[in-house]
Structure 1
């Protein structure tokens, strides 16, 4: 089985997924503007030229200008399946090649946000997403909740939408107490401290201003709490920047204003006790799943994807009240319940191994590729 995968080669999740597919026996050719920083065994990489901009910031026009090159590469490769990531970007480029069978890998905002956001969304991204969906033979979503949302927003494609919860890579994730002790020492965090982590970045959809304000109140309310914030280098409002700077000055706050490689991400998850993710809308967060496997208790916004996790057996708290004080109260309650967090940690790790493990998902993806290649 040989797939051509159009995706961002420097994306943390894409690197994880191609590695898992290769380990499952799938020959992967990754076609990308940004190749992985290091080679990945079993993955061939074709770099697309960036004609406008650079690897850190390149123009959307590159997706327009690269069509002939991608079509030529596919003609030479003749893969069994073309997999395109994100309906508004690489997935759109994949759709325009007219190669079949074509599996469109959607994330969340490409289906639920960008096509409906303002004039640009309705006039630009709306038609792009509809074309990507229309060209796909199969449309995958990250979990059943997003599949249901996709079917409600795009009922004409109901029969093509399938849930594929890619999940996290557990094979090389050391969750031992010894590793946790090393990481606590690395970040100068005492063992009796409760670490509360916000891993989702600072885009408006993640409600960073509200969240960071509550983190500052959290530090005042409990001297045994340390907060960790990952910005993922997102653009931010002036107010968000001010709040981040205030946290940076606090002795019990760690702000990582950069991308973290896998090893350091694992270290953050090992030291974390509570993970907080309160987007206004979202699919299943890979970061939350990784944090849970690392040992964090999830405190989540009450949205369909998070409700589906709790309904399926995940031990976590849903913040049902639309008030900042409700989030603060929930975190403080969880922080004071050591026994409850330990019990949830054990149950959530078992749930992930059964339901959200990328090694297991790779086998499901292999069967999906076999099915669509036979049907073509």
Structure 2
């Protein structure tokens, strides 16, 4: 396979980005160079600096293009790095929508500008990734040419995330989402406080870091469940599969979702999924069939769902078997990333 070079625009440290780039190297013989904004987006003063950096970003990107001479550019988010890719001048452009819609937050004062930027990025891109079907809804709504949209998740490495047998007689739950407000960890802790009051035994492992870490620790103490909740902090990706194999329930209650690799990872490791009832999760989970869908922020219903699932092990085991098959057929990294890499070579051949 011909050796080609890709310039990746986006946060290269993110797990999704790492999977994307690793797959292109492994299955497409691509060489990858990267560029990303250096200023974080976590404070108001930083956001202003980041906007300024973004304004001058095209000059920095043009410089790296002159030095690296990439055959194509790929980019995360149609409203940010995707736009920078669209104006980069590189002959072949691929962009990926990251969420249900990249027009987020919906009450942003910059929304009119983001709509213009997104429309231009989608028009200029030669291929647009929708990592799941829920993403195509907003694409169609803004008039994207669906002939250049590829709908397929990057998938997960099934040699790492594999099925295990968990014979625990109590709820061993795990959350692997970032500790940010949109993932609603408060709701989950309140649900487990209800379980505790009902005398239902459990362990809850909360993986990762984020702005809500200290708040959540204090909330666990306030709810008097701190002895049953483990906060791991940030961990290496190599540790995650083992933690998932020790769990029998996976919980994720985000208010918005595109495609969750963490859900696939949990399904592959035989964790029963209890997730928020939003379009991004509805693409993969059918209520009380292969998991449970819970209204956002409804900790009473979340508690009821956990109790019902725990008291129905036969239905839970049936769902686990079903999910294992689904992941193998639809979210196998080694299959999906080869398809994506081949698509890139095909695109480059057409445009050469």
Instruction: Normalising by structure 1, report the TM-score.
Output: 0.80
User: Which stretch of structure 1 is more off in the superposition, 68-77 or 56-65?
Assistant: 56-65
1:151 is the counterpart of 2:103: no
Shift of residue 298, structure 1, vs aligned partner: 0.8
State the partner residue of 2:204. 227
Structure 1 partner of 2:242:
267
Q: CA RMSD in A?
A: 3.2
- C-alpha change, 1:375 and 1:117, in structure 2 (3 Å) is farther
1:218 aligns with 2:201: no
Are the counterparts in 2 of residues 219 and 226 from structure 1 also a CA contact under 8 Å?
no
The 8 Å contact of residues 160 and 241 in structure 2, kept in 1 or not, is answered as no
1:246 offset after TM fit, Å? 3.9
Q: What is the match of residue 35 of structure 2? A: 32
| Count, aligned residues | 344
Matched-pair contact (CA < 8 Å) for 1:18–1:28: no
Q: CA deviation at 1:247?
A: 6.5
Distance 2:336 2:159 in 1: 13
SS in 1 for 2:231: strand
Tell me what 2:89 maps to.
Answer: 98
Decide whether the 8 Å contact of 1:9 with 1:30 is kept in 2.
no
Decide whether the 8 Å contact of 2:100 with 2:138 is kept in 1. Answer: no
Determine if contact 1:150/1:161 at 8 Å carries over to the other structure. Answer: no
Q: Secondary structure at the match of 2:284?
A: helix
* Pairwise CA distance, 1:240: 5.0
Q: How does 1:54-93 map to 2 (within 5 A)?
A: 59-60=49-50, 61-93=52-84
In the alignment, structure 1 segments of 5+ residues that lack a partner are: 34-47, 181-189
Cα drift, residue 140 of structure 1: 0.8
Matched residue, 1:197: 174
In 2, are the aligned partners of 1:244 and 1:255 still within 8 Å (CA)? no
- The alpha-carbon deviation at position 147 of structure 1 amounts to 1.5
Residue 160 in structure 1 maps to residue 148 in structure 2: yes
Cα 1:66–1:301 shift into 2, 3 Å: same
8 Å CA contact retained: 2:162, 2:268: no
**Whole-Å separation in 2 of the counterparts to 1:216 and 1:53:** 35
Task: Give unpaired runs (5+ residues) of structure 2.
Answer: none
Which has the higher relative contact order, 1 or 2, with Cα contacts under 8 A spaced 6 or more apart? Answer: 2
Equivalence map 1:238-249=2 (5 Å)? 242-246=218-222
